[in-house]
Amino acid sequence: MSKKLGFRKALETRLKKSQVAAKKKAISIFTAMSVAHVDDEELTPGEVRNIEKALPRGDIYTGQWCDNLPHGDGKYLWTDGCMYVGEWYKGKMTGKGKFSWPSGATYEGEFKSGFMDGKGTYTGCSGDTYKGSWVMNFKQGEGAHSFSSGDRYEGEWRRGLPDGQGRYQWKNGNHYMGQWRNGLMHGNGTMIWSNGNRYDGSWEDGFPRGNGNFKWPDGSLYVGIWTKDGKDQNGTYYPAGSPSENLDWDPQQVFLEDLKDAKICTGENVSILPSQKMPNWSAMAKRTEGRQRRMVDRKSKNLSYGSDITDVSTAGEGDSKVEDVVVRNPNPENSDIRQSRPQFKKIMKKQGQTISKGHKHYDLMLNLQLGIRHSVGRPGPVVSLDLRPSAFDPKEKVWTKFPPEGSKHTPPHQSCDFRWKDYCPLVFRTLRKLFNVDAADYMLSICGNDALRELSSPGKSGMFFYLTNDDRYMIKTMKKAEVKVLIRMLPAYYNHVRSFQNTLVTKFFGLHCVKLTGTSQKKVRFVIMENLFCTHYAIHRRFDLKGSSHGRTSSKPESEVDPTTTLKDLDLNYIFRLQKLWFQEFCRQVDRDCDFLEQERIMDYSLLIGFHFREVSSPCGSDVPTPTGNQDPLTEDAPRLSQASKDQFPSDRWSSVRLGTNMPARAEKTVRKSDSDSQLVGEPTGVFYDVILFFGIIDILQDYDITKKLEHAYKSMQYDPTSISAVDPKQYSKRFRDFIFKVFVEDT
């Protein structure tokens, strides 16, 4: 018996020693990684501590830590050599800091949510230096760029390119002072060469275009109209000395020789942006919670003593992914927001019904595709942006017959006999060029092998909508009155969209008519326009806003509202916060567009808004469903792009950002105090979401005709005249602006 007791005590002593050794080994490993263990003890909300922490993939963070996130001053070092030193706010680089790349390039200045945003200086590895304003990683606002070539630009920037007023100084002493657009000399400006020659006048895409004069140092002067190809160029030479002096000088020399070396430097590209290096703290927290739950389950199962020792030892020696122990408690702020986050149903396929054989509009689709292929594919004159008034003449129409057996100009087809009409073809061909629409891509989108999709139900007007398979273009059938309005306002529309490249009004690409022959003689008129929501992002919410309240609510019950539902003014429960410079540009452009529509006597238009919650990243058009109605869209395991995939196209996400398209913003949840129609915009709640915005002004073909005047008179007797849509264009414009400027505000 005594031998058995002695053996048992020896075994227990040996087991205890092995347990202590295993625990010491695990602790020594974790101690080497972390100065302060935020996981060793529960931190009170709001408590700030200094830590050093090893993170997934070998990244290291050193600095202040609060509520399981970097908060305060800190340094983050990535394994690829990138490093950020500066201020943090709730896990995001926000405030003043310095970001350095392995190449030796650096940015020092202000950050906002991980983006270079505010005042800052970028010094490239090749010697380029930019000092000035930034917005969402773009040079935007006032700034000066000194290029490694010796050139220098100082002036206004927009989306990373010179845009506005600016001065460019070349290394050879030439310099240009004037207007810029998209990185090129465009507008009124002055070019002065180092030899004293000088050009004052209009520019277009980097070259003199329009009225201008060329002056020599001796006082000689050439005044005329300039074109790069020289076809329409003409002018008068004024000599400085004797009037009989001969001019042995060709104005084309300016294009061929004088401007040969006037190339604009673009500067070096940033391969990886700081915002793309932001860690996914919420994903880390989620994995941590999962591991902690598993550990609790193990303890609850009363595992054997020996198994417990083995588990601790394995965790210390084999688990190099410290991501599972980085964050212990969920962010209290996030858990509060979670209760009020919007819910979504699954989107398993693209919106609309594919028009296949047997569909009632199948022949119409074939007619449309045949007509577009003929209109766009046939050779035409060289497109110039300067159109003659005759191009806008309402009588400028081209009819083409499409017999089934084919003709000299049309191919045989399987549809019925029809006639095709193009309205003002030269104008719309020029508009497509103005909007950078490639003719081949345009035809492929509409006339390719893929069928069009018909939206499930027409709008109030009874007109039908069709989408191309790639979602780039929307085709809408039109009433004769709408066609007349578009033709009437076409000259003003063309001048407006040419003058303001960031206009929010609908982009039109073609106006056509299909006339069936035979007894029916039916005419179908339609317009082809831009689809605002052509994006790889899933659109989670969409609103159609007019600024009126009567009848401006969705007819669907809350349970049936999904991401394809277009909600209205009284359904709106967000306000959108734009960065300062974007907000200023937004206000300017809305004013310009509303002034244009008011002058054309247009009313009943609306601002169509769609937005994507950035935490949900299932690409639109994939077969992967978005979060269901019972899940949290901002925290569930939604499909996400891997970091490797993101690195393959680092600039794609932001390169296409422009006003109304692909715009990062913050959406703040609002709540109405009552169901009163007088309160169109609810009270802010302080609950924010990072979103990607898409918006534009649509339905711009309703003029204030006798029908709308009668509608206004009739409804005014029943309802508050200020609450109905049918009002005078001037009143409509004012009400629309007042409302929209409450929905969109500056992000402070």
Q: Alpha carbon 493 to chain centroid distance?
A: 24
Is residue 342 domain-resident? no
Same domain flag for 469 and 501: yes
CA torsion angle for 84, 88, 94, 98 (degrees, to 10)? -20
Of 526, 530, 529, 531, the closest CA to residue 364 belongs to 526
Residue 457 placed within a domain: yes
Give the span between the Cα atoms of 664 and 275, in whole angstroms. 12
Q: What is the pLDDT of residue 456?
A: 60
Buried b (16+ CB within 10 A) or exposed e, 194-223: eeebebbbbbbebbbbeebbbbeeeebbbe
Return the structure tokens found at 97: 């800091």
Pairwise CA distance, residues 162 & 178, whole Å? 11
Say whether both 510 and 564 belong to one domain: no
Q: Give domain status of residue 128, yes or no.
A: yes
Show the tokens assigned to 577.
């916060």
Is 376:425 a contact under the CB 8 Å cutoff?
A: no
Residue 38 located in a structural domain: no
Residue 301 Cα distances to 15, 143, 666, angstroms? 21, 65, 46
Relative to beta strand 744-746, strand 574-578 is parallel
> CA 677, CA 683: separation in Å to the nearest integer?
14
Judge if 463 and 588 occupy the same domain.
no
| pLDDT tens digits, 88-138 | 888 888 899 999 988 889 999 999 888 888 899 999 888 899 999 988 888
The closest of 352, 561, 360, 544 to 460, measured between CA atoms, is 544
Q: Kindly state the tokens that stand for 585.
A: 């540009």
Q: Report the phi/psi class of residue 628: left, alpha or beta, with left for phi > 0 and alpha for psi in -120 to 50.
A: beta
Beta bridge mates, 146: 129, 152
Residue at 258 is within a domain: no
Q: Which of 105, 122, 148 is the last residue of a domain?
A: 148
> Which strand (E) or helix (H) includes residue 490?
helix 480-499
What is the C-alpha separation between 462 and 474, in angstroms, rounded? 16
The tokens describing 588, both together, are 């300017």
Do the beta carbons of residue 660 and residue 721 sit within 8 Å? no
End-to-end CA distance of the chain: 81
Give me the helix-helix angle, 480-499 and 425-434, nearest 10°.
Answer: 40
On whether residue 558 sits in a domain, the answer given is yes
38 CB burial (10 A radius; 0-12, 13-18, 19+): buried
Cα distance between residue 47 and residue 41, in whole Å: 12
Type of residue found at 346: K
Assigned domain for 648 exists: no
CATH number of the domain where residue 736 is located? 3.30.810.10
User: What's the pTM?
Assistant: 0.57
- What is the predicted pLDDT for the residue at 2? 56
Query: Could you give the CA distance from residue 304 to residue 11 in angstroms, rounded to a whole number?
Result: 15
The DSSP line for 639-690 is: ----HHHHHHSTTHHHHT-BTTBSEEEEEEEEE-SSS-TT--S-EEEEEEEE
Q: Give the domain-ending residue among 148, 182, 206.
A: 148
Does residue 517 share a domain with residue 420?
Answer: yes
> Any bridge partners for residue 545, and if so which?
607
Q: Do residues 424 and 566 both lie within one domain?
A: no
- CA distances to 59, 251, 433, 487 from 508, in Å: 49, 37, 12, 12
- Report the C-alpha gap between 246 and 459 in whole angstroms: 69
Domain match, 542 and 483 both: no
Range of the domain at 574: 535-615+657-747
User: In terms of domains, do 685 and 705 share one?
Assistant: yes
Same structural domain, 593 and 726: yes
Asked if 410 and 400 count as a contact pair (C-beta separation under 8 A), the reply is yes
Indicate if 563 and 444 belong to the same structural domain: no
Residues of the chain short of pLDDT 70, as ranges, are 1-44, 232, 241-248, 282-350, 456-462, 518-521, 550-551, 615-656, 674-679, 705-726
Q: Is 466 helix (H, G, I), strand (E, B) or coil?
A: strand
Strand-pair partners of 576 = 667, 744
Please give the tally of structural domains in the chain: 4
Instruction: Determine the Cα–Cα distance for residues 186 and 174; give it in Å rounded to an integer.
Output: 17
**Cα pseudo-dihedral 180, 185, 187, 190, rounded to 10:** 110
For residues 574 and 673, membership in a common domain is answered with yes
User: Hey, what are 616's tokens?
Assistant: 């949900």
- Looking at residue 134, which CATH number applies to its domain? 2.60.450.20
Please say whether the beta carbons of 105 and 86 come within 8 A.
no
Q: Judge whether 594 and 733 are in contact, CB under 8 Å.
A: yes
Of 508, 531, 554, the domain-final residue:
531
Question: Is residue 743 a contact partner of residue 684, using CB atoms and an 8 Å limit?
Answer: no
158: β partners:
161
Q: Using an 8 Å Cβ cutoff, are 415 and 404 in contact?
A: yes
- Please check whether residue 71 is in contact with residue 91, taking contact to mean a CB–CB distance below 8 angstroms: yes
DSSP state of 43: P
The CA distances from residue 290 to 145, 300, 312, in Å, are 49, 15, 17
Question: Are 733 and 602 contained in the same domain?
Answer: yes
Whether 216 and 78 map to the same domain: the answer is: no
The pLDDT, as a whole number, for residue 307 is 31
